[in-house]
């Protein structure tokens, strides 16, 4: 038996030889994604590599079913969610797969299917008007927006490449002149507002034009893909359907610009993981096609391999079930099981450094690409090379240069507790007004949620599957997030342009100590005149059965304001240490800025300095302990007011309200504990281990929190508010005690 290391080296070497050998045959077909050599290797291995064979079988079954149904290219009519939308989408997916099957199985029926479908499109496209549903800033022809037309071309380019040699030159000419070139021109030259942006829309558009350009060996299209339309005639300004900027001052354009700007050097994509997952496909597929056909451009390696880094960043932005954190506009439930992540994992493995941890994701996906990358992954899996993809804490910068804030993900244990702390930039048009917000997970379960978006993607009955108006009025609002609202206003007044000029800043990030992990960040622009400094720490204390989260939000303001700090939990209220009153009728908490969507379910007053609120969710108890002043209020809320079409989810929150206050510190512990099973009916460890919190010290330089547990043991956590140098020595006297430590925070047991 070969050793694992030897096998890995061998695979790496073979791939290396393969990648370079391939680049020599740029004009043969297929050569875009699937290559001639790739096909040969695949055919040599057919029936020998279980994961690959299973994928072939699965896709063959799907494609055969579609072939049996017959080709349908209906006259475009519907929004997403409707039949014509679904059918054209299904067509390009199936055509791409059928093309791959033709190459792999060498059964002409697949080539005939693709050819006939393309010819039907050719016949229709010539005279096709703009899509009748004119709601987009850039309507497509097959679909209601150019974006979906671009999806079509990205996939159909691959299909065309695989059957290129099967077609007669007359057929090719017909398709290229009447379908592909006009199609590429329509989504680019005819729609510069769509094509020339820095936006995932343009990435799809650029990739589409570039892919078909590569297949047709059309240099003009390739250049247009890489560098955009040189003179687009667009004025600076203008917004799309979601309020996103179309053209800003000195805006770059084209695929490479789209690769440079939204990706940080760490591979974080400024729109957030939901859109990164979506954009990843055109990014990777066109970069791979360029690698295969024009490697000298170095597109796949551009910006210090940022695309390959992006794959890792994206996988790190998932919970234990593989679901992406729904930062900004993100539909919950989207996960690394989506086809674009199969693409990402396969390409990342093959063109990256054959990280064996990627193989374990591929095992879970239980599917590979039908090309040489998928074969390599399947061979790696078969060779038992897979190692668990272990997610650690990670800090990802935002901004093209990595200097526009970021996202910190703290993880404890095997994702037993995960906090996602967002101190990023606005995130383009899909950004939310949620500076310094966080969400909390236990394995794959949301504990304190980020609401995500208000949209039922592709569910036609819900506004054509598009963004619903509550996305702007609720989901983007500040109060919809686990962060501070001031005077019931949104960060940046909810103004996109202002928000886009600013970002939060990292104070420090420290994950070297499994016992205490800390992320600390500042926001000074969201509310002019108010400085917010939030520090989130995971503390794995000796006397606690499980780690807890400490959250310190220090507010320094030029004048007094009203503050609200909400926490959106799930489950059933179990206990509070304060009294509350439930009104007989539920009314909205406010009339704008998201408050209009919250019902006020109860109002409480603290009965102690440490206010506690416990709940039960999916068999786990949680307690939120927070430092309160006697004049504070605790509001219990529920989402769903002023929601005429039932677009919102009815979910609860608990909010700390502190009115008419200038400088203040919010100190909160969120603590998972114990368990409940409806089968054993055992309620274990159902009480909080926290007895009290105390703000032992707070000034410009230091904030110190003392935590006493129910056994009477104490812990002290100190954060240095001004100086975040790793090696700085600090001394602080509190009462009669002197504390001395190095670095931006101190954690002291039995202080």
642 belongs to the binding site for its own copies (CB under 8 A): yes
- Verify binding: residue 676, its own copies, rule CB under 8 A: yes
Task: Pick from 87, 332, 605, 691 the residue near its own copies by CB under 8 A.
Answer: 332
Q: Considering only residues 269, 527, 599, 745, which one is a binding residue for its own copies as defined by CB under 8 A?
A: 599
E strand map for 430-476? 437-442, 445-448
Q: State which residue, 545 or 631, has the beta carbon closest to its own copies.
A: 545
**Cis peptide bond prior to 30, omega within 30° of 0:** yes
The span of 35-43, 65-73, 123-131, 680-688 binding its own copies (CB under 8 A) equals 680-688
Residue 310 is a binding residue for its own copies (CB under 8 A): no
Do 738 and 731 form a contact (C-beta atoms < 8 A)? yes
Catalytic choice (430, 481, 491, 730): 430
Residues 687-716 that bind its own copies (CB under 8 A): 687
Sole binder of its own copies in the list 59, 156, 300, 334 (CB under 8 A): 334
- Which residue in this structure is represented by tokens 């001052």? 249
The one-character DSSP state at 425 is B
Residue in 275, 281, 351, 569 annotated catalytic: 275
Which residue's structure tokens are 């016992």?
Answer: 515
Q: Contact between 590 and its own copies (CB under 8 A)?
A: no
What single-letter DSSP state applies at residue 324?
A: B
Q: Which is nearer to its own copies, 271 or 698 (CB)?
A: 271
Asked if 446 touches its own copies (CB under 8 A), the answer is no
The sign of the torsion formed by the CA atoms of 128, 129, 130, 133 equals negative
**Binds its own copies by CB under 8 A, chosen from 46, 189, 236, 682:** 682
Stretch that binds its own copies, among 54-62, 294-302, 451-459, 743-751 (CB under 8 A): 451-459
Q: Compute the distance between CA of residue 620 and CA of residue 616 in angstroms, rounded to an integer.
A: 6
Q: Pinpoint the alpha helices (H) of 352-412.
A: 356-365, 372-382
- Residue 276 or residue 664: which is nearer to its own copies going by CB? 276
- Closest approach of Cβ 688 to its own copies, in Å? 11
CA distance 263 to 235: 25
By beta-carbon proximity to its own copies, the closer residue of 399 and 674 is: 674
Q: Any idea what DSSP says for residue 368? A: -
Least Å distance between CB 46 and its own copies? 27
Residues 6+ apart with CB under 8 A from 250: none
Provide, rounded to whole angstroms, the least separation between the CB of residue 339 and its own copies: 8
* H or E segment and range at residue 94: helix 83-105
**H or E element in which residue 672 lies:** strand 664-673
- Helices 83-105 and 108-125 cross at an angle (nearest 10°) of 140
Told to judge if 275 belongs to the known catalytic residues of this protein, a careful annotator would answer yes
* Nearest CB to its own copies, comparing residues 557 and 573: 573
Q: Does 331 bind its own copies (CB under 8 A)?
A: yes
Asked if 74 touches its own copies (CB under 8 A), the answer is no
Q: Residue from 106, 414, 545, 587 that binds its own copies (CB under 8 A)?
A: 587
Q: Per CB under 8 A, which region of 108-116, 288-296, 422-430, 567-575 contacts its own copies? A: 567-575
* DSSP code for 737: E
Q: Does 750 bind its own copies (CB under 8 A)?
A: no
Q: What is the dihedral of CA 157, 162, 165, 166, to 10 degrees?
A: -110
CB of 82 to its own copies, least distance (A): 10
Binders of its own copies: how many residues, by CB under 8 A? 55
| Residue 607 sits in the site that holds its own copies (CB under 8 A) | no
Closest approach of its own copies to the CB of residue 324, in Å: 10
Q: Which residue's entry shows tokens 């299904």?
A: 90
Decide if 333 contacts 310 (C-beta within 8 A). no
- Of 3, 38, 36, nearest to 368 (Cα)? 38
| Span near its own copies by CB under 8 A; candidates 17-25, 397-405, 538-546, 678-686 | 678-686
Cα–Cα distances (Å) from 587 to 546, 647, 695, in that order, read: 38, 18, 35
372-403 exposure pattern, b = at least 16 Cβ within 10 A, e = fewer: bbbbbbbbbbbbebbeebebebbbbbbbbeee
574 interacts with its own copies by CB under 8 A? yes
- Shortest reach from residue 337's CB to its own copies, in Å: 5
Residue where the block lists tokens 């989207």:
334
Which span (44-52, 178-186, 378-386, 677-685) binds its own copies, by CB under 8 A? 677-685
3-state helix/strand/coil string of 489-537:
ECHHHHCHHHHHCCECEEEEEEEEECCEEEEEEEECCCCCCEEEEEEEE
Q: Segment near its own copies (CB under 8 A), from 100-108, 226-234, 649-657, 690-698?
A: 649-657
Chosen residue from 38, 76, 81, 743 binding its own copies by CB under 8 A: 81
Q: How far apart are CA 454 and CA 633, in angstroms?
A: 29
Residue 182 in the binding site for its own copies (CB under 8 A) = no
695 CB neighbour count, 10 Å cutoff: 17
87 binds its own copies, rule: CB under 8 A:
no
> CB of residue 45 vs its own copies: minimum separation in angstroms?
28
Which alpha helices (DSSP H) does 652-707 contain, by range? none
Specify burial of residue 649 (Cβ count, 10 A radius: 0-12, 13-18, 19+): middle
Smallest distance, Å, CB 619 to its own copies?
Answer: 9
| 599 has catalytic annotation | no
Burial class (CB in 10 A: 0-12, 13-18, 19+), 288: buried
Please say whether the beta carbons of 73 and 35 come within 8 A: no
Phi, psi (rounded to 5 degrees) for 463:
55, 40
Compute the least distance from the CB of residue 231 to its own copies, in Å: 36
Q: Least Å distance between CB 458 and its own copies?
A: 5
Burial class (CB in 10 A: 0-12, 13-18, 19+), 112: middle
Residue 273 binding its own copies, by CB under 8 A: no
Residue 582 is a binding residue for its own copies (CB under 8 A): yes
Near its own copies by CB under 8 A, which window of 158-166, 327-335, 505-513, 659-667? Answer: 327-335
Distances (CA, A) of 719 to 29, 90, 697, 730: 61, 54, 10, 10
Span 456-485, contacts to its own copies by CB under 8 A = 456-462, 465
Compute the least distance from the CB of residue 218 to its own copies, in Å: 32
- Binding its own copies by CB under 8 A: which of 123, 190, 239, 573? 573
- Yes or no: say if 171 and 122 are a contact pair by the CB < 8 Å rule: no
Binding segment (CB under 8 A) for its own copies, from list 8-16, 336-344, 489-497, 658-666:
336-344
Least distance in angstroms from the C-beta of 718 to its own copies = 33
Q: Taking CB under 8 A as the rule, does residue 616 contact its own copies?
A: yes
* Contact between 364 and its own copies per CB under 8 A: no
- Which residues contact its own copies by CB under 8 A? 81, 86, 331-335, 337-339, 456-462, 465, 572-575, 582, 584-588, 599, 601-602, 614, 616, 636, 638, 640-646, 649-650, 652, 676-683, 686-687
Which residues are known to be catalytic? Answer: 275, 430
């Amino acid at each position: 038996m070969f050793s694992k290391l030897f096998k890995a080296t061998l695979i790496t070497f073979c791939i290396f030889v393969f990648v370079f050998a391939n680049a020599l045959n740029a004009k043969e077909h297929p050569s875009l994604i699937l290559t001639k050599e790739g096909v040969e290797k695949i055919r040599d291995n057919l029936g020998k590599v279980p994961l690959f064979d299973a994928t072939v079988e699965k896709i063959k079954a799907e494609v055969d079913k579609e072939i049996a149904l017959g080709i349908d290219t209906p006259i475009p009519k519907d929004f997403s969610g409707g039949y014509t939308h679904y059918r054209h989408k299904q067509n390009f997916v199936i055509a791409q797969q059928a093309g791959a099957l033709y190459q792999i199985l060498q059964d002409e029926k697949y080539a005939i299917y693709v050819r006939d479908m393309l010819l039907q499109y050719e016949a229709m496209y010539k005279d096709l008007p703009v899509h009748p549903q004119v709601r987009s800033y850039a309507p497509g022809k097959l679909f209601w927006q150019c974006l979906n037309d671009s999806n079509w071309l990205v996939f159909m380019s691959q299909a065309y490449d695989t059957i290129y040699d099967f077609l007669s030159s007359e057929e090719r000419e017909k398709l290229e002149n009447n379908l592909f070139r006009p199609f590429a021109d329509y989504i680019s030259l005819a729609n510069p507002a769509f094509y020339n942006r820095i936006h995932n829309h343009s990435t799809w558009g650029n990739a589409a034009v570039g892919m078909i350009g590569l297949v047709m060996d059309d240099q003009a299209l390739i250049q247009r893909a890489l560098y955009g339309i040189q003179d687009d005639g667009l004025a600076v300004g203008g917004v799309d359907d979601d309020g996103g900027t179309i053209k800003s001052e000195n805006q770059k354009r084209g695929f490479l610009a789209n690769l440079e700007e939204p990706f940080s050097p760490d591979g974080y994509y400024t729109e957030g993981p939901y859109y990164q997952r979506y954009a990843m496909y055109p990014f990777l597929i066109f970069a791979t096609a360029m690698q295969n056909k024009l490697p000298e451009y170095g597109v796949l390696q551009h910006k210090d391999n940022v695309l390959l880094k992006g794959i890792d960043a994206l996988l790190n932005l998932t919970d234990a079930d593989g679901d992406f954190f729904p930062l900004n506009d993100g539909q919950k439930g989207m996960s690394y099981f989506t086809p674009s992540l199969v693409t990402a994992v396969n390409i990342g493995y093959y063109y990256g450094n054959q990280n064996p941890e990627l193989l374990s994701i591929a095992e879970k996906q239980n599917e590979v690409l039908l090309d040489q990358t998928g074969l390599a992954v399947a061979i790696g899996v078969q060779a038992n090379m897979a190692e668990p993809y272990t997610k650690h804490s990670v800090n990802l910068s935002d901004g093209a240069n990595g200097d526009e804030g970021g996202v910190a993900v703290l993880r404890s244990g095997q994702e037993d507790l995960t906090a996602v702390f967002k101190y990023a930039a606005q995130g383009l048009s899909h950004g939310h007004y949620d500076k310094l917000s966080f969400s909390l997970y236990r394995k794959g379960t949301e504990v304190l949620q980020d609401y995500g978006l208000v949209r039922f993607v592709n569910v036609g009955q819900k506004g054509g599957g598009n963004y619903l108006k509550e996305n702007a009025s609720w989901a983007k609002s500040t109060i919809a997030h686990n962060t501070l609202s001031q005077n019931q206003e949104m960060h940046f007044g909810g103004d996109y342009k202002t928000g886009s000029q600013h970002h939060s800043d990292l104070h420090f990030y420290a994950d070297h100590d499994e016992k205490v992990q800390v992320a600390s960040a500042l926001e000074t622009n969201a509310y002019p005149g108010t400085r917010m400094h939030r520090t989130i720490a995971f503390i794995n204390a000796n006397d606690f059965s499980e780690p807890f989260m400490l959250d310190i939000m220090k507010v320094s303001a030029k004048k007094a304001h009203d503050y609200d700090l909400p926490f959106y939990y799930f489950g059933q209220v179990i206990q509070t240490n304060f009294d509350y009153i439930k009104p007989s009728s539920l009314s909205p908490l406010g009339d704008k800025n998201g408050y209009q969507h919250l019902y006020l379910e109860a109002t409480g007053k603290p009965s102690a300095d440490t206010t506690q609120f416990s709940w039960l969710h999916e068999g786990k108890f949680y307690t939120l302990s927070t430092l309160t002043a006697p004049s504070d209020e605790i509001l219990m809320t529920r989402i769903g007011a002023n929601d005429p079409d039932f677009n919102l989810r009815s979910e609860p929150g608990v909010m700390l309200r502190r009115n008419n206050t200038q400088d203040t510190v919010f100190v909160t512990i969120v603590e998972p504990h114990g368990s409940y099973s409806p089968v054993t009916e055992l309620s274990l460890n159902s009480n909080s281990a926290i007895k009290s919190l105390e703000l032992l010290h707070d000034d410009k330089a230091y904030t110190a929190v003392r935590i006493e547990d129910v056994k009477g043991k104490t812990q002290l956590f100190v954060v240095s508010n001004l100086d975040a140098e790793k090696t700085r020595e600090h001394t602080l006297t509190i009462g009669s005690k002197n504390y001395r430590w190095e670095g931006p925070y101190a954690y002291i047991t039995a202080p």
